[in-house]
Structure 1
Amino acid sequence: MSSFIQAGIIYYSQEKYFHHVQQTAAVGLEKFSNDPVLKFFKAYGVLKEEHIQDAISDLESIRHHPDVSLCSTMALIYAHKRCEIIDREAIQELEYSLKEIRKTVSGTALYYAGVFLWLIGHHDKAKEYIDRMLKISRGFREAYVLRGWVDLTSDKPHTAKKAIEYLEQGIQDTKDVLGLMGKAMYFMMQQNYSEALEVVNQITVTSGSFLPALVLKMQLFLARQDWEQTVEMGHRWENHLSPGRLKLQ
């Protein structure tokens, strides 16, 4: 899966654009047809749009894949608890399965479990999984980026300020899109708009059609009260939202 696709999915999840989450995952599946992570995110988008039974069916089909076994089982428990008629026996079986999976889980599985927990608002639990993953593999850059995002979106101001350290550690010398977006958001929160714009430009240089970066750029021009650039970015945004099109990279 490309870093643009994953960053797009996570951005849309954060903004609660769950139909876009499904669209983005579907576009990714056209290129990577058997990618279990993309299938998981597509099911997550379906779940968050309250199509519970469809989501359960989709999650059941991938829950035994090692990379997504943990997050899929968690999502299934989450889904069953949202049913009108709750199947207590199914939840009990899933909770037992979750305990068994945790005993031999991989770093990748911990990562996606952390992503899921963060997206549903369980920040502290997400941190537990990310920290456990970093104990297994300290060189897993994406885990530092995720930890940075978890801190960035925390409702505790002192935690949000620490986010940049994790983001920098995760980005290093790469063009990690999710990491760069987090860094731009951090500078926006600090009202350091020139630094934020510089970071967003690093993303748009690589892909001028990546919609989340265009949205961030427009928000920055608005914050700076640069009306001419805001209008121009608005027109570019419209071009990427024409009927039937969703540009990701």
Structure 2
Amino acid sequence: MSQNDKTCLPLIIYYMREKYYTHAEENLKLYNNDPVLRFFKTFATLMEGNTQEASRELLQLRDHPHPSLCSTVALIHIQQTSETIDLVEAVYGDRALYYTALLFWILELDLRARTCVEKMLKPSESSPEGLILKGWMMLTSDTEEDRPQAIRYFDSGVQDTGSVLGLMGKMEHDETSPIRSSSLIQTSSRRSS
């Protein structure tokens, strides 16, 4: 292993610090099974712009005791410096994109949630979960103009699935809709007179 080679790690650290990533990768080929050196090789790959490949490898390296923390930090770095949404979609797929959007929406990071949902619905607006989540985002939006459009997304999402979350959204829309609210007030005032 690399622990017996006294020059391997210092040389790699030097190459990384000086941004000689190709040189670092060449030296790392000597010890393919060492998880720490695999981390540095993956980090060099990341710094050369191969985000997807590096992300996959970093996810695997998180299970090794020595590079687990630095792998997690590198993944956070990827998320902060690159387009997180593209990474999630490319590495994990539509399902992960949906749950990421859901998490962003729950955390009230509306712009990120909207970006995820739009990316998910871009090929075709056929994802019931994506449509329902977009409905919720419209309904809970700070922009008054977005709210009336929410029902369209709820209707489309509930149409084939009968999703409880979608049905809840439709009920919430009906309760908060100014047209619906004013007609309920008029109906109740007629009954009381």
> Relative contact order, CA 8 A, sep 6+: which one is greater?
1
Q: What TM-score do the two structures reach when normalised by structure 1?
A: 0.39
Q: What TM-score do the two structures reach when normalised by structure 2?
A: 0.49
**Greater C-alpha radius of gyration:** 2
Question: Which has a greater percent of helix?
Answer: 2
